[in-house]
């Protein structure tokens, strides 16, 4: 497991990469309470699809925030300023899929 650059109390395990033309990669993240990232929020070309396996996360989208709880998924457009944070009191386990938008 690795801590991605500019993330705090966040460990990720890559599950696979270069899956097909649409799915770039997928990983599972273990985010401690008050952990997340990146700092500062960022943008990129690809989208993310986040599915919360357990716990709860807050996805920051510019000046908006979206709470995503266990069993829920949320797609983040890559060109939108964003970051992901654990605002709960237990570790959040999140499946993240990077989607090629080209």
Q: What are the sequence ranges of the domains in the chain? A: 8-99
What is the rounded average pLDDT of the residues 32-39? Answer: 97
Give residue 19's pLDDT. 84
Model pTM score: 0.93
Q: Could you read off the pLDDT of 54-93 as tens digits, one per residue?
A: 999 999 999 999 999 999 999 999 999 999 999 999 999 9
Give residue 27's pLDDT. 97
CATH no. of 8-99: 2.60.120.10
Residue 18 has pLDDT above 90, yes or no: no
Output the CA torsion sign for 3, 5, 7, 13.
negative
DSSP states of the chain: -B--TT-EEEEEEEEEE--SSSEEEEEEEEEEEEEEEEEEEE--SSEEEEEEEESEEEEEETTEEEEEETT-EEEE-TTS-EEEE--SSS-EEEEEEEE---
Give residue 17's pLDDT. 86
Residue 102 has pLDDT above 80, yes or no: no
């Amino acid at each position: 497991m690795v801590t991605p650059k500019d993330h705090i109390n966040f460990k990720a395990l890559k599950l696979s990469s270069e899956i097909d033309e649409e799915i770039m990669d997928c990983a599972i993240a273990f985010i401690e309470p008050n952990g997340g990232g990146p700092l500062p929020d960022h943008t990129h070309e690809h989208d993310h699809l986040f599915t919360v396996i357990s716990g709860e996360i807050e996805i920051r989208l510019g000046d908006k925030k979206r709470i995503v709880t266990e069993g829920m998924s949320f797609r983040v457009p890559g060109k939108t300023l964003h970051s992901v944070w654990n605002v709960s009191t237990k570790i959040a386990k999140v499946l993240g899929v990077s989607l090629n938008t080209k």
